[in-house]
């Protein structure tokens, strides 16, 4: 693989990268391991990737960890995912803190087990002064649900005759305060968005790779960013 890190223009890195971490199950199957092992390995690679992102000066990374559609999986798998989330924060929070990472979350936490809600809320609280990188965990997240809940929250405060605008909608999305996504990375070989941040990716560049998530390395991240930099972002102009 080319040394993409060396040829990346550090003055033009995407501010906000959104990652669809797909392929854990297939990675495990290929190795005759249980799917949960694929998820475990998938969680292990997050931190080295964040180190690489910080080094490049990326400000925000949104990670798709559990979609509103993932509830249709067997309950044993769902449970193992929540356990993994708890373990992730138990094991990594100190180091996340020391690196200046601010944890945020998008999605509706209510349906998660109490321990997982506590783990994520605690991580948000403990890291709220951090400024190096925002790590936005998308948990029980659906892009369409995000838009609907934003409209409903706005309706609660709506003045008579007041109209919705794009800016108002954005202020009520789970990602309020974060800029739009510049680059979407999807591992695992599927060419779709799967209800991830549908509003926020309206003008994002898309990078798809067959690499399965547990095999994704900083070198692949550098490649994605390099390819992003070769695109011409016209935003409808000339
Ligand atoms: C992505 O990996 C992780 C989650 C959806 C939680 P998958 O579990 O979808 O892995 P594949 O697509 O079955 O290989
Ligand atoms: C998308 O992966 C969701 C996450 C990575 C959390 P899926 O594996 O659930 O997506 P589909 O079912 O292939 O669209
Ligand atoms: Mg999948």
Give yes or no for residue 26 CB within 6 A of ligand 1. yes
Place 147 in a pLDDT band, splitting at 50, 70 and 90.
very high
Written as six digits, the tokens of 49 are 């990737």
For the chain, give every domain's residue range.
4-229
Give the nearest ligand 1 atom to 66 CA: 6
Q: Catalytic pick from 51, 70, 86, 195?
A: 70
Give yes or no for residue 123 CB within 6 A of ligand 1. no
Query: For 4-229, which CATH class?
Result: alpha beta
* Mean pLDDT for the chain overall: 98
Is 130 assigned a catalytic role? no
What is the predicted pLDDT for the residue at 238? 96
Q: Which residues surround ligand 3, an ion (CB under 5 A)?
A: 22
DSSP state for residue 173 in the 8-state scheme = S
Give yes or no for residue 22 CB within 6 A of ligand 2. yes
Is 94 assigned a catalytic role? no
d(CA 72, CA 26): 18
Q: Catalytic pick from 3, 9, 22, 215?
A: 22
Give yes or no for residue 195 CB within 6 A of ligand 2. no
What is the predicted pLDDT for the residue at 9? 98
Place 206 in a pLDDT band, splitting at 50, 70 and 90.
very high
Residue 148 makes CB contacts below 8 A (sequence gap 6+) with none
What is the predicted pLDDT for the residue at 25? 98
| pLDDT 10s digits, 153-165 | 999 999 999 999 9
How many residues belong to the chain?
238
Burial class (CB in 10 A: 0-12, 13-18, 19+), 161: exposed
What is the predicted pLDDT for the residue at 159? 96
| pLDDT 10s digits, 92-120 | 999 999 999 999 999 999 999 999 999 99
| pLDDT 10s digits, 29-78 | 999 999 999 999 999 999 999 999 999 999 999 999 999 999 999 999 99
């Amino acid at each position: 693989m080319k040394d993409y890190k060396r040829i990346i223009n550090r003055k033009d890195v995407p501010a906000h990268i959104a990652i669809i971490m797909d392929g854990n199950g297939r990675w495990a199957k290929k190795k005759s391991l249980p799917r949960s092992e694929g998820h475990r390995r998938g969680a292990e690679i997050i931190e080295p990737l964040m180190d690489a992102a910080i080094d490049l000066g990326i400000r925000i990374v949104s990670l798709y960890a559990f979609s509103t559609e993932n509830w249709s999986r067997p309950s044993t798998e769902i449970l193992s995912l929540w356990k993994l989330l708890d373990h992730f924060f138990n094991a990594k929070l100190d180091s996340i803190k020391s690196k200046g990472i601010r944890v945020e979350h998008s999605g509706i936490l209510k349906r998660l087990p109490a321990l997982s809600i506590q783990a994520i809320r605690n991580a948000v609280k403990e890291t709220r002064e951090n400024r190096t990188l925002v790590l936005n965990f998308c948990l029980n997240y659906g892009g369409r649900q995000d838009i609907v809940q934003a409209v409903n929250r706005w309706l609660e405060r709506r003045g008579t005759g007041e109209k919705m605008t794009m800016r108002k909608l954005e202020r009520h999305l789970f990602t309020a305060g974060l800029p739009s996504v510049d680059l979407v990375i999807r591992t695992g070989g599927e060419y779709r968005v799967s209800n991830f941040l549908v509003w926020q990716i309206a003008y994002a560049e898309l990078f798809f790779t067959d690499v399965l998530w547990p095999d994704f390395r900083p070198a692949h991240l550098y490649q994605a960013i390099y390819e992003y930099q070769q695109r011409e972002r016209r935003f409808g102009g000339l």
